[in-house]
Amino acid sequence: MARLKPLGRDDGGPNDAIVATDLGVQYNLRFNRKRSMRESIANVVTRKPPERFWALRHVNVHVPHGESLGVIGPNGAGKSTLLQVLAGIMRPSEGSVEVRGAVSGLLTLGAGFDQELSGRENILLGGAFLGLDDKVTRELMPGIVDFADLGAFIDAPIKTYSAGMRARLGFSIATSVDPDILLLDEVLATGDATFREKSKGRVIELVKSAKAVVLVTHDMIWVQEYCNRALLLEHGQVVVEGTPDDVVAAHLERTAAAKAERDAAALAAGLDPRAR
């Protein structure tokens, strides 16, 4: 069971916004896969032990105030799971995590939108989700609407929005509250180029004002240009951590090596690698 403990100097220092030590998240695949009623009953009767999968294991992360940390890795590496643990949405199976400061994250706001409500009404809903008083949210609304730049769609139901439009509104809400810690999951990969640049500018402002940012992304250019530090996750473990240039280079090298290995296996099996 994970333990929650006070953050002290031995855990990373007083300037750290996030300190996660030996994190592990384990899933019970019995409850994560669709199974027939017969299979479920058979497992109970035979007392078959559940299949378990470690989405994260022995992960250590510390993020000081004023730092933007890029988290990269292949699909299924555990990147989004890590953000959910840091956001307090998911409790780790083992290890400890301490977050110092108010957290805002786009990874949760998208799920909190009501598809039948308008963008403007969802701003009020998002504010409540972040624990803001209704009066405060209404005061912030003009700035949120202006930054999202959705035009007349701000008064249309969210169900009429594209994925990019939802991301723009969610990002505008998440960053309007001046959070101490901002968690973003692939948000900058969505939307048009103009909004992506505007989003990057806002993230940079947060970092410069001594905020902490953790960003999961497949955009290597963003990591190299706008993050202070990066880490590479593979199979739920940190395999490389350091400067963005070094981590991106390691990721590209490991990705190329893995592809070459898969292609060689396909050729050995008499298959055309290009057909995959």
Say what the pLDDT of residue 233 is. 97
Which tens digit of pLDDT belongs to each residue from 57-77? 999 999 999 899 999 999 999
* pLDDT band, residue 5 (cuts 50/70/90): very low
Say what the pLDDT of residue 170 is. 87
Residue 3 has pLDDT above 50, yes or no: no
Q: Is the dihedral of CA 143, 144, 147, 148 positive or negative?
A: negative
* pLDDT band, residue 161 (cuts 50/70/90): very high
The answer to which of 4-13, 94-103, 176-185, 190-199 has the lowest mean pLDDT is 4-13
Residue 8 has pLDDT above 60, yes or no: no
Q: How far is CA 66 from CA 18, 54, 122, 235, 262, in A?
A: 12, 31, 30, 29, 40
Report the pLDDT averaged over residues 132-147. 94
* pLDDT band, residue 41 (cuts 50/70/90): low
Say what the pLDDT of residue 184 is. 84
* pLDDT band, residue 43 (cuts 50/70/90): low
What is the pTM (predicted TM-score) of this model?
A: 0.78
Task: List Cβ neighbours of 189 (8 Å cut-off, separation of 6 or more).
Answer: 217, 218, 219
Higher pLDDT pick, 119 / 27: 119
195, two tokens: 């909004």
Q: Is 217 exposed, middle or buried (0-12, 13-18, 19+ CB in 10 A)?
A: buried
Residue 263 has pLDDT above 50, yes or no: yes
What's the DSSP call for residue 66? T
Say what the pLDDT of residue 265 is. 86
Closest CA to 209 of 185, 179, 172, 187: 179
Higher pLDDT pick, 59 / 48: 59
Report the pLDDT averaged over residues 97-117. 80
Report the CATH number of the 1-35+50-101+222-257 domain: 3.40.50.300
Report the pLDDT averaged over residues 116-145. 92
Q: Where are the domains of the chain?
A: 1-35+50-101+222-257
